[in-house]
Amino acid sequence: MLRHLPLLTLVVMIGPVLAGLWGALLPALGHLPGAGLTGPSFDAFRTLLAWPGLEQALRLSVTTGVLATALSLLIVVLVTAGWSGTRAFGALQRVLAPILSVPHAAAAFGLAFLIAPSGWLARLTSPWLTGWARPPDLLVIQDPAGLAMTAGLVTKEVPFLLLMTLAALGQVRQDQRLQTARTLGYDRVTGWLKCVFPAVYRQIRLPVYVVLAYSMSVVDVAMILGPTRPPSLSVQIVKWMGDPDLAMRLVAAAGALLQLVLVLLALGLWRLGEVGVARLGRNWLETGRRGRLDPALRLVGIGLGALSAAATLLALLGLAVWSAAGFWAFPDALPDAFTMRNWHRHGPGTLEAAAETFLVAGAATGLALVLVLGCLEAEHRSGRTLTTRGLWLLYLPLLVPQTAFLPGLQILLLSVGADVGRGPVILAHLVFVLPYVFLSLGDAWRAWDPRNAVVAGTLGAPPWRVFWQVRLPMLLRPILTAVAVGVAVSVGQYLPTLLIGGGRVATLTTEAVALASGGDRRAIGVYGLMQTLAALLPFALATLLPALVWRNRRGLHV
Amino acid sequence: MSDVLTLEQVCITDGGQTVIEADCTIAPGDVLTIMGPSGVGKSTLLAFVTGTLKRAFTATGRVLLDGADITALPPHRRQVGILYQDDILFPHMSVGQNLAFGMAPGGTRAERRAAVSAALAEIGLEGFAHRDPATLSGGQAARVQLLRVLLSQPRALLLDEAFSRLDTERRTQIRRLVFDMARDRDLPVLMVTHDAEDAKAAGGRIITLGD
Amino acid sequence: MKHLPLAVALCLPLAAAATPDPSDWEAVLEEAEGQTVFWNAWGGSTTTNDFIAWVGERVAEDHGVTLEHVKLTDTADAVTRVVSEKQAGTDSDGAIDLIWINGANFAAMKEADLLFGPFAEQLPNWQYVDTEDKTVRTDFTVPTEGYESPWAMAQVVFMYDTADIDAPMGSMEEILDWSQANPGRFTYPQPPDFLGTTFLKQALVDLTGNPAALQQPVAEADYDAVTAPLWAFLEELTPTLWRQGRAYPQTGPAQLQLIADGEIDMAISFSPGEATAAIANNQLPDTVRTLVLDKGTIGNASFVAIPYNSGSAAGAMVVANFLMSPEAQLRAQDPEVLGYGTVLDMDKLPSDDRAAFEDLDLGIATLSPAELGNVQAEPHPSWMTRIAEDWAARYGTAQ
C-alpha cells in the first residue's frame, strides 16, 4: 500500500493538469461533440487571432509577469544580501508567515483602496499637502501598462520568494561563505551576491519559475487591479468561458493553449536571461570589486522590503476600517462614524461562506497531508530520496498556468457527466495544495535525525509505531505549519472554485471577488477581512498548539 | 541469556568500492572494539547489524545471534540495542515514558511504572520518571539511554562513539557503568570508536582500521 | 427496430406540458416541500443579496423550500452552465433551478429550448400583475409566453450629486455639454456590462431620429444611419469622461463608490430607488438625487426563469410566485431595502395591500411614479448585442 502511494500522489496531482490540457486541446481544434461540433478546424484560433485586443493582452501578460517576478526577486535578493542575520531581518521574518497567508484577492482589494486617487494615501495627505479637495483624475488602478497589478503581485510574491530563500540559505551554509568573502575584504551585499547568491538561486529557481507562471496568468488580482481595455489574456479566457455563445468556449480553449505557450516561452526567455546574468556575474566576479555601492544597496533593499510589507499591512488595515465605516467622503482620513451595521449585514453571509471555505480547505489539506506523509514515509523506508525530476513533477501543477488547464478540465468534467460541486472542487484544490504541503513539510521531515528511528527500531518498535509515536509527535510543529500552508493555499483559490464548482461552491474568495465587481467597499472589507482571518487562523494555531501541547518539553521549543 | 554475536564474512560496498569488511565473533560479556578515524565506515557496519543500512550500500555476509541468522530481519525484531554519542532521548516523552517505550509490552500501568522507577533508582536517578529529557545533564542522559536499551532486553549491544561527547570525568564513569552492566547481563558488545582510551577501557579485542 | 419510434416517443417529454404542472398548485406546493432551489442571480449588489436572503427565509418558513443564492458576476455564466449541461446530457437535476434573467440571455435560452414552462401565467399571484401598463409579457420585444415570471420593474434614472450639480439635465445633449464643462466627472460601466450597454441604448433612444427602427431586429434597419448620432455623441463625450475614457467602472454599483469618493458626480442606474437605498447604507452622500430625461427613459421588467433541467422546478415556481406576492413586492419597493418598482397593478390588489403600498415612503432621492414620466420601450435585443460589439471595437481596446 505505502509503496504505491507516491504513484497515487502523482496521479492526483498531475492527472487533472494533463486531463485539463487534453480537454482544452480538442475544443481548440473545433472538436466538441457534445455541442455537435466535430473538428478539426482552426476557426477557434482564427477568431482568437482576430480579437482586436490580443496583442495588448499578450503583451500585458508578459510585461506584468516578468516585471513582477524580476522586481520580487530583486527585493528578496537585496534584503537577504544586505540584512540576513540582523535584527531587522528577524523582524521581517516574523511578519512573513502572516503576510504570506493573506489571500491575493484581499491584498489586491486593500492595495486598490490604498493607492487609488481617492484612496487612503490620498486621503491622509489631502488637502493639507496635496491641495486636493477632490480626488485627482489620474489613472492609477486599471492602468493600461498594468503597473498597479504588478505592484499587487509584488507585495504577495516577495514574501513567498523570501520564505523559499530562507529555506535555501540553510542548505548552502551561507555563514561560512559570507564570512570567507568578508575576510577577503568584500562588503556585505557584494560578498553575498558573489558567494552565496549563485548557490541560493539554484535552490529557488523552481519557485521563481512558479512566480513567473503565476504572475503571467493570474485572474483575481488582474480583475481587481488590472486594465480592462483589454484585460490580460487570462481574464479574457475566463470571460470567453462565461460567454453564452458556445463558439466562444472553443476560443477560450484556444486561448488556454496560447496562454500555455506564452508561459513556456516566457520561462524559456527567463532561462536565457539566467544564462546571460550568470555570464555577466562571472565577469563581475573576476573584477575583484569589493562593493562601493553596498551601503546604498542595503538601504534600497530594506526600504523596498519594508514598503512591500507595509503596503500589505496597511491594505489590511484599510479593509478593517472600511468594514466598520459609516459614510466616508473624500478627503476625510477616517469615516464620519464607525458602525457595526456592515458586519450585521454581511457577517452571517461570511460565516456561511467561511464554513464552505473550511470544509473544502480541510478536506483538500487532509487528503494532501495523508498523501504527503505517506510519500515521505515511503521515501524514508525505501531510502530513496526525491530526485530532481521528481521535484519538477512536484512543481508542474504550479508551473502550468491555471487558465491553461482549468477551462479544459471543466469542459472535460461536464462532457463525462461528472457532477460539479464540492467534490470536484476539493480535488481541484488538491492539485495546488499538495505541492505546497509537500514542499513545506519535506525539508523538516528529511532534517529529522534518522537515528531516532534506528533507536526506536532497535528498542523493538515496528515501523508504524515509530511513525505514530516517535516521528509524528516530534514533527508536530512542521506538520501543523504544513497544514496551515495547505489551508491558506486552498482559501486563496479563486479560479478552480469558480470553474470547477460551477457556481455552487461559494467560498469566501469567490464571494469576495464577486462583490468586488460591485465595488461596495464595506462589503469587500468584511469579506476580505474574513478571508484573511480564514488563512491566518491556521497559522496562529500552528504556532500555539505545539507550544501548548509541548509546554513541558523544552527539547521541542523553537 | 548468553548469546554470541557473529559477523560472518561481512563486506559492505558502495558503488563497487569496498567500505568495510568484518569477520568476527563476540562471546557473551565480551567487548570487541573497532578503532579508526571517522569516515572509514565503522558506523556503516553498525547500521548493517541493526538492519538500517542505507540503500546506496550493498552488503554481503551474515549476522548471527546465537547461531541464528538475523540478517534478513527488520530492525525491531533483531533484539540488538544501540547507543549513540548524541543524546537520542525522544524529546516529546518524559524520562519514564522513554524507558517504558523500550520495555516489552505486558503488565499493568502501575507495574510498568514501578519497574521504571526501580530501574531509575538502580542507576542513581531516583524520582526522575517525570522529568523532561531536555533538562538532564549529559551524564544523566547517557545513563537514561543505557537504561532504556537494557530495559528492552537486547541480546547484543552496539556502541557508536557512545562516550565521545562526555567530559573526561563522566566518560570514565559512564564507560564503566556500560561495560559492567553489559557484562552482568552477558551481552556481547560491539563498539566503534576513534578514541584509544575507550578501546583500552573495554578490555577486549581491538581491530584497528584505516591507518 | 420497430420498437424504436415508441422508445423515442417515451423519452421525449411533450414540449407543451410542464411537469410539475403549475396549474395544479397544491401538487406543486407538496412537491416543493423540502426541495433546495439554486437561484443564480448576480451577486454584486449587497442590497439585492440581502433581499434574496430574506426571500429564502420566507419560502423556507411558508413552504419548506431551501433557497441557495448562487452569486454570479455575470448572468451569462448561468446561461453557459445550462448550455454546457445540455451538451453533456445532464437533462435532469442540473446545477441551476432559477435564474434572474432578462433581455438577450432570455432570448438566447428561449431560442435554444433551455427553459422550463410555460409556468408564469399559471402562478397564483399572476392575478395581481399589471399586464396592461407594464412590459411584463414582452422582454426586450421578445414575447415571454410564460417562460419567465416578472418580479421587478426597472427604469433608467441618472443619480447626480446636488452638491456639485445645480440643475438636472434633460437630454443626452445637455449631459454632453455639462461633461465638456466639467471633464472627468462622468462615466458609465464598461460594455458589455448590462448597465453600460443600457447607457448606450439610452443615448441611442434619446439621440436617434428614427425610434421605430429600434423595435425591429437590427438586420432590418440601416444600422449605420440609425446609430450615427450615437457614435458622434460618444466621440465628443469620451475625452471628457472620468480618466478620459481610458478606464471604466466594471459594474453599475461600482459607480456608487466613485460618487461617494467624489470621483464622479453623475451615474446611470436602472433602479429608481437605488440612490435612496444607497444613501441609507452610507454608500452615497445624502445630497444625491435622481433625474430622468425629458423625453423619458428606457424601462423593462426583471424576470426569473427556470432551466429545463432543474430538479427542483416546483420549488423554483414557489419562489417565483412568492416574488410576485404583495408581501415581497412591497418589501422590494421599500427604499430601505431595494427600491425596485413593483410589477403589480394597484387596482387589482386587496385594499389592505394597496394601502400598504400607498403608505410607503419612497425616500428622498426617489422620483414618484408621476415624476418618472414616460417609459421608453427597450430596443430589440439584437441592437444591444450589435452596439456592444461595435463599442468594444471602437473603445474596448486602448489605441
Hey, which chains touch A, using 3+ CB pairs under 8 Å? B, C
Residue from C358, C349, C327 nearest C128 by CA: C349
Q: What is the pLDDT of residue A34?
A: 62
A217, A237 in Cβ contact below 8 A? no
- Enclosing H/E stretch for C67: strand C66-72
Quote helix, strand, coil % in chain C, to nearest 5. Answer: 45, 15, 40
Question: Would you call A243 helix, strand, or coil by DSSP?
Answer: coil
Q: What is the DSSP letter of C65?
A: -
The pLDDT tens digits of the residues spanning A519-537 come to 788 989 999 999 999 999 9
Q: Is A459 in the B-facing interface, judged by CB distances under 8 Å?
A: yes
> Which A residues, 21 through 60, put their C-beta within 8 Å of a C-beta on chain C?
32, 34-35, 52-53, 56
At residue A212, what is the residue type?
Answer: L
Nearest CA in chain A to C280: A327
**For testing the chain B interface, which of A379, A452, A459 should be mutated: the one with the most B CBs within 10 Å?**
A459
**Which residues in A lie closer than 8 A to residue C90 (C-beta atoms)?**
414, 417
| Residue of B82, B86, B152 lying closest to A460 (CB–CB) | B152
Residue B211 has pLDDT above 70, yes or no: no
Going along chain C from its start, the domains and CATH numbers come out as 26-151+302-363 (3.40.190.10), 157-299+375-395 (3.40.190.10)
Residue C399 has pLDDT above 80, yes or no: no
Residue C260 has pLDDT above 70, yes or no: yes
Residue from A336, A332, A361, A316 nearest A526 by CA: A316
Strand pairing category for C66-72 and C36-42: parallel
At residue B52, what is the residue type?
Answer: T
Q: Is residue B100 part of a domain?
A: no
Hey, which chains touch B, using 3+ CB pairs under 8 Å? A
Number of Cβ within 10 Å of residue C171's Cβ equals 13
Cβ pair B76:A461 closer than 8 A: yes
Cβ pair A550:B86 closer than 8 A: no
Q: What is the pLDDT of residue C105?
A: 86
Q: What is the pLDDT of residue C319?
A: 96
Can you give the CATH number for the domain in which B30 is found?
Answer: 3.40.50.300
Q: What is the CA radius of gyration of chain C?
A: 22
Q: Is A526 in the C-facing interface, judged by CB distances under 8 Å?
A: no
Which residue segment(s) compose the domain that A486 sits in?
A: 2-26+62-322+340-556
Kindly state the percentage of chain C with pLDDT values over 70.
Answer: 95
Whole-number average pLDDT of chain A: 89
Q: Is residue B127 part of a domain?
A: no
- Pairwise CA distance, residues B144 & B132, whole Å: 12
Tracing cell 521531515 back to the chain, one arrives at A445
**Which residues in B lie closer than 8 A to residue A550 (C-beta atoms)?**
92
- Pairwise CA distance, residues A89 & A49, whole Å: 48
**β-sheet bridge partners, residue C37:** C67
Q: Distances from the Cα of B63 to the Cαs of A295, B1, B23, C12, C227, in angstroms?
A: 63, 18, 10, 78, 96
Alpha-carbon distance A386 to nearest alpha carbon in chain B (angstroms): 14
**β-sheet bridge partners, residue C121:** none
- Pairwise CA distance, residues B26 & B65, whole Å: 10
**For testing the chain A interface, which of C40, C51, C77 should be mutated: the one with the most A CBs within 10 Å?**
C77
Cβ pair A457:B54 closer than 8 A: no
**For testing the chain C interface, which of A241, A344, A414, A416 should be mutated: the one with the most C CBs within 10 Å?**
A414
C148: confidence class by pLDDT, cuts 50, 70, 90: very high
**Residue A403: phi, psi to the nearest 5?**
-70, -10
Most confidently modeled of A279-293, A506-520, C63-77, C323-337? C323-337
- Enclosing H/E stretch for B60: strand B57-65
**Lowest-confidence pick of C253-257, C379-383, C391-395:** C379-383
Q: What is the pLDDT of residue C146?
A: 94
CB-based burial label for A1 (10 Å; 0-12, 13-18, 19+): exposed
- Pairwise CA distance, residues C370 & C373, whole Å: 6
Domain count along chain B: 1
Average pLDDT over residues B98-116: 91
- Pairwise CA distance, residues C47 & C42, whole Å: 11
- Pairwise CA distance, residues A12 & A431, whole Å: 7
Residue A174 has pLDDT above 90, yes or no: no
DSSP for B104-148, please give it: PS-S-HHHHHHHHHHHHHHTT-TT-TT--GGGS-HHHHHHHHHHH
Q: What is the DSSP letter of C251?
A: S
**β-sheet bridge partners, residue C148:** C305
Cβ pair A518:C398 closer than 8 A: no
The pLDDT tens digits of the residues spanning C294-343 come to 998 998 889 999 999 999 999 999 999 999 999 999 999 887 788 788 89
- Pairwise CA distance, residues B101 & B93, whole Å: 9
- Pairwise CA distance, residues C155 & C271, whole Å: 6
Q: Is A448 in the B-facing interface, judged by CB distances under 8 Å?
A: no
> Which A residues, 497 through 556, put their C-beta within 8 Å of a C-beta on chain B?
550, 552-556
Residue from C138, C52, C145, C139 nearest C101 by CA: C139
Residue from B16, B131, B149, B3 nearest B63 by CA: B3
Q: What is the pLDDT of residue A167?
A: 84
How far from chain centre, in Å, is Cα A108?
A: 13
Q: What is the pLDDT of residue C3?
A: 38
Q: Is residue A346 part of a domain?
A: yes
CB contacts < 8 A (A, C) = 178
Q: Is residue A329 part of a domain?
A: no
Give start and end residues of each alpha helix (H) in A416-462: 422-447, 451-458
Quote helix, strand, coil % in chain B, to nearest 5. Answer: 35, 25, 40
Average pLDDT over residues A2-18: 89
C139: confidence class by pLDDT, cuts 50, 70, 90: confident
Q: Is residue B98 part of a domain?
A: no
The pLDDT tens digits of the residues spanning A377-415 come to 988 888 777 777 888 888 899 999 999 999 888 888 877
Q: Is residue B146 part of a domain?
A: yes
Q: What is the pLDDT of residue A180?
A: 86
Average pLDDT over residues A62-77: 96
Cβ pair A454:B75 closer than 8 A: yes
Alpha-carbon distance A471 to nearest alpha carbon in chain B (angstroms): 9
Q: Distances from the Cα of A116 to the Cαs of A143, A491, B16, in angstroms?
A: 11, 26, 68
The pLDDT tens digits of the residues spanning A498-520 come to 888 877 788 999 988 888 777 78
Residue from A8, A206, A16, A101 nearest A490 by CA: A101
Residue B147 has pLDDT above 90, yes or no: yes
Alpha-carbon distance C108 to nearest alpha carbon in chain A (angstroms): 8
C41, C318 in Cβ contact below 8 A? no
A270, A216 in Cβ contact below 8 A? no
Cβ pair C282:A341 closer than 8 A: yes
Alpha-carbon distance A447 to nearest alpha carbon in chain B (angstroms): 15
Residue from C309, C318, C251, C262 nearest C285 by CA: C262
A46 Cβ contact partners less than 8 Å away, ≥ 6 residues apart: none
Tracing cell 486621503 back to the chain, one arrives at A123
Nearest CA in chain A to B94: A553
Which residue segment(s) compose the domain that B155 sits in?
A: 5-89+137-208
Q: Is A176 in the B-facing interface, judged by CB distances under 8 Å?
A: no
Tracing cell 473544502 back to the chain, one arrives at A360
Q: What is the DSSP letter of A518?
A: T
Question: Would you call B70 helix, strand, or coil by DSSP?
Answer: coil
CB-based burial label for A522 (10 Å; 0-12, 13-18, 19+): buried
Do C and B touch, 3+ Cβ pairs within 8 Å? The answer is: no
CB contacts < 8 A (A, B) = 83
Q: Is residue B194 part of a domain?
A: yes
Question: Would you call A457 helix, strand, or coil by DSSP?
Answer: helix
Comparing A518 with B140, the larger pLDDT belongs to B140
**Residue C278: phi, psi to the nearest 5?**
-70, -35
Domain count along chain A: 1
Cβ pair C190:A228 closer than 8 A: yes
Can you give the CATH number for the domain in which A149 is found?
Answer: 1.10.3720.10
Do A and C touch, 3+ Cβ pairs within 8 Å? The answer is: yes
A313, A98 in Cβ contact below 8 A? no
- Pairwise CA distance, residues C80 & A538, whole Å: 36
A319: cell is 479593509
| Residue of C190, C242, C392 lying closest to A137 (CB–CB) | C242
Residue C277 has pLDDT above 90, yes or no: no
B2: confidence class by pLDDT, cuts 50, 70, 90: low
The pLDDT tens digits of the residues spanning A75-93 come to 999 999 999 888 888 888 8
Residue from B190, B198, B202 nearest B171 by CA: B198
A196, A174 in Cβ contact below 8 A? yes
Average pLDDT over residues B22-48: 89
The pLDDT tens digits of the residues spanning A136-172 come to 998 989 899 999 999 999 999 999 999 889 888 878 8
Comparing C26 with C44, the larger pLDDT belongs to C26
Cβ pair A457:B152 closer than 8 A: no
Rounded to two decimals, the pTM is: 0.84
Residue C17 has pLDDT above 70, yes or no: no
| Residue of C44, C53, C398 lying closest to A517 (CB–CB) | C44
Q: Is residue A47 part of a domain?
A: no
**Which residues in C lie closer than 8 A to residue A231 (C-beta atoms)?**
none
A139 Cβ contact partners less than 8 Å away, ≥ 6 residues apart: C243, C244, C246, C247
For chain C, the distance separating the N- and C-terminal CA atoms, rounded to the nearest angstrom, is 63
**β-sheet bridge partners, residue C70:** C40
Question: Would you call A507 helix, strand, or coil by DSSP?
Answer: coil
| Residue of A135, A246, A326 lying closest to C282 (CB–CB) | A326
Average pLDDT over residues A174-200: 88
Residue B22 has pLDDT above 60, yes or no: yes
Q: Is residue A151 part of a domain?
A: yes
